[in-house]
Amino acid sequence: MLAGHAQLWHVYLFAFGLGVVSAVDVPARQTFVAALVPPEGLSNAVGLNSASFNAARLIGPAVAGLTVAWIGIGWVFIVNGLTFAATVVALLVMRRAELSDVERAPREKGQVRQGIRYVRGRTDIIMVMVVVSVVAALGLNFQMTSALMARVEFGRGPEDYGLMGSVLAIGSLGGALLAARRERPRLRLVLGAAGLFGLSSAVMASMPNYGLYMLASVAVGFSQLTMLTSANAYVQTTTEPFMRGRVMALYSMLLMGSTPIGAPIVGWVGENVGARWSIGVGSIAAIAVAVACTMWAVQHWNLEVTYHRHRPVLEFTYPNRVNSRDDAVLRLRAQQIEDTSSQP
């Protein structure tokens, strides 16, 4: 890009390479958090790690948009590459003797099948993955939708596009910190945040001018990061250590892999229906999946909702719900024993 010879197929090629590397890097990096802290601090550490990861996904494009207008797109890629030096140095100076021991699964055939079998027995994790994948596919396309809104609806340039992302990141930071401070992430927080994301996205898409649009985006960033951080922390902290890597690989695949599937749909809607509806389709999808999963929980988990008058709060309880986590672990252990006994 600095030489001015970059073509579209070059971008496709490097994007493909980045996706291949991320498929290995993201699950390993997220599960590595368990080795950095003692077991009692895992929930907060996972929340903070997820908060920093997802906040960077929002803050990065905002900073990049401002930097492109300042020094040009080629130098932005150079600066981004140089920032990885800090990560490499941090890994090199770590004292391995102080890392916590984490149970590891033995290397054997069928590990992918075991991971899928484990997730199939955890309806709560399946629900989290469904919510995250649907919202990520149709709702988390802000690089595209913000650019459409800035250029088409408000007639703004790269600087204002970057400012959009910065304001969105303000709410994201608040949501990340709120989710990270919780000692025990809960499934209801994931569903509630998904529903709030849908509602706030609808409000943001309907804003008549640039200033009100940015103001509404604070709530969108808050609900988005609350959902993503809580979902990541819930999956990691409720999964058995020997299965965590495989489960997180599936989770990351759905989170990151669903966006390229939904982006063309959102792009088509933005081009043919309107920029505002490119956000609206994600809003509708988020509300629909949150409502559908809640109704499923009410029907299959016998969810009970109690309103306490003395303090205005709703309490959610599952009086007849089977512990799907323990059930999944027992069935997986039994399958491992059966596979081992059948070997010659």
How do beta strands 304-308 and 313-317 pair? antiparallel
pLDDT at 205: 93
CA distance 234 to 230: 6
pLDDT at 341: 43
**Best CA proximity match to 190, nearest among 231, 224, 225:** 231
pLDDT at 194: 94
pLDDT at 51: 67
pLDDT at 55: 65
pLDDT at 201: 95
**Cβ-based neighbours of 332, under 8 Å, separated by 6 or more:** 114, 117, 118, 121, 243
**Best CA proximity match to 162, nearest among 225, 222, 73, 229:** 73
CA distance 77 to 86: 16
SS3 string of the chain?
A: CCCCCCCHHHHHHHHHHHHHHHHHHHHHHHHCHHHHCCHHHHHHHHHHHHHHHHHHHHHHHHHHHHHHHHHCHHHHHHHHHHHHHHHHHHHHCCCHHHCCCCCCCCCCCCHHHHHHHHHHCCHHHHHHHHHHHHHHHHCCCHHHHHHHHHHHHCCCCHHHHHHHHHHHHHHHHHHHHHHHCCCCCCHHHHHHHHHHHHHHHHHHHCCCCHHHHHHHHHHHHHHHHHHHHHHHHHHHHHCCHHHHHHHHHHHHHHHHHHHHHHHHHHHHHHHHCCHHHHHHHHHHHHHHHHHHHHHHHHHHCCCEEEEECCCCEEEEECCCCCCHHHHHHHHHHHHHHHHHHHCC
CA distance 278 to 341: 54
> Do residues 318 and 118 lie in contact, with contact meaning Cβ atoms separated by under 8 Å?
no
pLDDT at 57: 63
Mean pLDDT by 10 residues, the chain (344 residues): 73 81 75 75 72 67 72 79 86 82 64 82 92 94 87 82 76 71 78 93 93 91 87 85 82 84 91 92 95 87 64 56 50 50 46
pLDDT at 322: 44
Q: Both tokens of residue 180?
A: 């990270």
Instruction: List the beta bridge partners of residue 313.
Output: 308
CA distance 68 to 74: 8
pLDDT at 306: 63
pTM (predicted TM-score): 0.74
- Rounded (10°) angle between helices 111-120 and 244-272: 70
CA distance 231 to 187: 8
pLDDT at 337: 44
Please state, in angstroms and as integers, the Cα–Cα distance from residue 123 to each residue in 37, 130, 239, 297, 324, following that order. Answer: 28, 10, 12, 10, 7
